[in-house]
Amino acid sequence: MNQVILIVCLAHFSATGLSVARADSADFEKMVTPFLENYCMDCHDAETKKGNLSLDGLEMDLGNFDQLEVWRMIRDAVHFRDMPPEKKKQPTCWRSF
C-alpha cells in the first residue's frame, strides 16, 4: 500500500474515531504492519522504546482511547516528517512532495 494512503487512512480513522472492523485485520497486517516494521520498529520496539514509546502490540483498536492517541501521534509525526529521523530510512512517498 502506498504510504500516502496509509497516512490518509490513519488521519481519517483518528479524526472520526471509527474503529476498524475485525474483517480489516488482514488489511492492517498487509499494509500498516509493514510500514511500522520498515520505518518505526528499529527505535520503537519493546526493547529500545526511544522516546519511551513502544509500538509492539499496537492494534487498530481506535475505540481504545490510549491506542487512538498513539495512532494520532504516529499520524502527526509522519505527516510533519518528524519521524522517521532524517538519518533513518524515509518513506518513498515523500519524494513526490
Residues 14-48 pLDDT 10s:
444 444 444 467 777 888 888 899 999 999 999 99
Q: What is the pTM of this model?
A: 0.68
pLDDT in tens, 51-65: 999 999 888 877 888
Whether 50 has a pLDDT exceeding 90, the answer reads yes
CB 59 within 8 A of CB 22: no
Residue by residue, DSSP assigns the chain as: --HHHHHHHHHHHHHHTPPPPGGGHHHIIIIIHHHHHHHTTTTSSTTT-GGG---TT--S-TTSHHHHHHHHHHHHHHHTT-SS-TTS---GGGGG-
Task: Determine what percent of the chain is predicted with pLDDT higher than 70.
Answer: 70
Range of the domain at 70: 3-96
Number of domains composing the chain: 1
